[in-house]
């Protein structure tokens, strides 16, 4: 599978919109993982969410290594092996209630890219 085969969002016009690129699909998956609780967040999947890790980030700049390991373990459990998360850092923004994160993602055969993910 070149990239996540059927990631869709509801566009502003109400229609379903498919992700045009692997990078956008990765951002969607990471956003969903960040908003989902760790245990029992998705039916049928024992561990999926990263919300518990994200909530404990607090004032620290980046996620702890065990959170990065958990993210990659979750991806591997879902048979998503063509990218991995190397680092997650919170960016300072104007609105403290909005989380903006800089995620360092390694794509197999392509190298490392920095993606901005809003939570």
Number of domains in the chain: 1
| Buried/exposed 64-86: b ≥16 CB within 10 Å, e otherwise | eeebbebbbebbeeeebebbbbe
Residue 2 lies in a domain: no
Would you place residue 40 in the very low, low, confident or very high pLDDT band (cuts 50, 70, 90)?
A: low
SS3 content of the chain, % helix, strand, coil (to 5): 25, 35, 40
Residue 66 lies in a domain: yes
Would you place residue 2 in the very low, low, confident or very high pLDDT band (cuts 50, 70, 90)?
A: very low
Residue 1 lies in a domain: no
Residue 23 lies in a domain: yes
Residue 65 lies in a domain: yes
Residue 51 lies in a domain: yes
- Report which of residues 84 and 53 the model is more confident about: 84
Residue 3 lies in a domain: no
> Assign residue 79 a region: left if phi > 0, alpha if psi is -120 to 50, beta otherwise?
left
Domain that holds residue 44: 8-118
Say yes or no to pLDDT of 1 above 50: no
| Alpha-carbon span 83 to 91, nearest angstrom | 22
CATH code, 111 = 3.10.450
Look at 10-14, 36-40, 88-92, 104-108 and tell me which has the smallest mean pLDDT.
10-14
Residue 36 lies in a domain: yes
């Amino acid at each position: 599978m070149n990239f996540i085969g059927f990631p869709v969002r509801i566009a502003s016009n109400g229609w379903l919109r498919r992700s045009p690129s692997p990078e956008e699909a990765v951002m969607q998956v990471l956003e969903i993982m960040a908003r989902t609780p760790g245990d029992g967040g998705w039916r049928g999947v024992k561990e999926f969410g990263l919300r518990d890790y994200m909530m404990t980030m607090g004032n620290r700049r980046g996620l702890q290594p065990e959170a990065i390991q958990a993210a990659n373990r979750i991806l591997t459990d879902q048979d998503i092996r063509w990218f991995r998360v190397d680092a997650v850092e919170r960016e300072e923004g104007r609105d403290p209630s909005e989380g903006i994160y800089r995620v360092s993602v390694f794509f197999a055969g392509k190298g490392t890219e920095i993606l901005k993910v809003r939570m």
